[in-house]
């Protein structure tokens, strides 16, 4: 099975490398800035998205948002122009569910299957191949590519039809954002009260308040390390998709709207490219207290 991989950013590059390590032949677009690194790792290059698709049985995209995915797959010189009959296109980006459905319908008309399969776990889990992958689409197509996905994730779940993967990811992103905000608020309170934040972390991480988010983000907050595993600007994008989807479905999401404004404020302050653990900075500024120790 030959796999085309388009989108070699913070997440995509290590994901593609894990496919190579898994023994798959991988084709990447020559115009990508990371193409050289992937070629060194064993990938083949192709000139443009159409050619990548023409050489591949499976095409994976990992891109910033809906417009980029639609352009790469449906635009001039895009995947749809070179995709083979019976091929499977997997978009692992986090985009609007309606965009996934539009792309899926266009590819179906060309005789190709489509899965939306966004991921959770950030750069560290992309590197070690333990992402959580939530997929939407045809069950038979999913089963064909499940071994491929398992080279990039430790959890691979089909959640429903096309678009369901991205609905699931939006739910994930709401929970993650609100969790980081709650952690930030709580630890700023502890710091302002004069209680050692590291001691607070040790005391509560094994209890009901403990979570994967807390374990991943509190050490970064305590060290003042906001190197991006997942950038604030990307979480803004995801929450905008969540708000749009919720409003289209007449679902009130007041807490999501609140944390969205927190992220927007941080963006204005120049933190758009910081890790989303930098949400703590918003609360630190309000309380005039620092959690970092």
If you search the block for the tokens 């758009």, which residue do you land on?
A: 272
Name the catalytic one among 34, 70, 169, 217: 169
What DSSP element (H or E) covers 228?
A: none
Per DSSP bridges, beta strands 2-6 and 25-29 are parallel
Distance of alpha carbon 174 from alpha carbon 213, whole angstroms: 12
Strands 119-120 and 131-136, by their bridges, are antiparallel
Residue 59: beta bridge partners? 4, 89
Alpha-carbon distance of 273 to 57, in angstroms, equals: 35
Q: Is the CB of residue 238 less than 8 Å from the CB of residue 231?
A: no
Helix (H) or strand (E) holding 72: helix 66-74
Closest C-alpha to 103, from 19, 93, 251? 93
CB-based contact 176:214 (threshold 8 Å): no
131 within 8 A of 125, measured Cβ to Cβ: yes
Distances, alpha carbon 254 to alpha carbons 24, 178, 214, 234, 264, in Å: 45, 11, 22, 20, 15
Distance of CA 82 to CAs 55, 75, 108, 169, Å?
8, 12, 14, 29
Measured CA to CA, the distance from residue 237 to residue 261 in angstroms comes to: 12
Residue 233 to residue 37: CA distance in whole angstroms? 26
Is 21 labeled as catalytic in the residue annotation? no
Q: What are the catalytic residues? A: 169
């Amino acid at each position: 099975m030959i796999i085309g991989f388009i989108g070699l950013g913070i997440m995509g590059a290590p994901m593609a490398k894990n496919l190579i390590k898994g023994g798959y032949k991988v084709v990447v677009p020559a115009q990508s800035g990371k193409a050289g690194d992937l070629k060194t790792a064993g990938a083949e290059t192709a000139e443009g998205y159409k050619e990548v698709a023409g050489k591949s049985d499976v095409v994976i995209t990992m891109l910033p948002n809906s417009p980029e995915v639609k352009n790469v797959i449906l635009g001039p010189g895009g995947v749809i122009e070179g995709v083979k009959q019976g091929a499977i296109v997997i978009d692992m980006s986090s985009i609007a569910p309606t965009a996934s459905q539009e792309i899926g319908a266009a590819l179906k008309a060309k005789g190709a299957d489509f899965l939306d399969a966004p991921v959770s776990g950030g750069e560290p889990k992309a590197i070690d191949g333990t992402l959580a992958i939530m997929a939407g689409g045809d069950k038979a197509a999913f089963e064909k590519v499940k071994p491929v996905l398992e080279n990039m994730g430790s959890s691979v779940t089909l959640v429903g039809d096309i678009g369901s993967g991205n609905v699931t990811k939006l739910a994930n992103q709401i929970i993650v954002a609100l969790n980081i905000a709650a952690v930030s608020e709580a630890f700023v309170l502890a710091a302002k009260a004069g209680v050692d934040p590291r001691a607070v972390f040790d005391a509560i991480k094994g209890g009901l308040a403990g979570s994967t988010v807390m374990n991943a983000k509190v050490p970064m907050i305590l060290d003042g390390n906001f190197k991006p595993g997942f950038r604030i600007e990307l979480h803004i994008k995801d929450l905008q998709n969540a708000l749009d989807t919720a409003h289209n479905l007449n679902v009130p999401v007041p807490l999501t709207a609140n944390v969205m404004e927190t992220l927007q404020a941080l963006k204005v302050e120049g933190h758009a490219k910081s890790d989303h653990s930098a949400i703590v900075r918003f609360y630190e500024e309000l309380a005039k207290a620092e959690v970092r120790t």
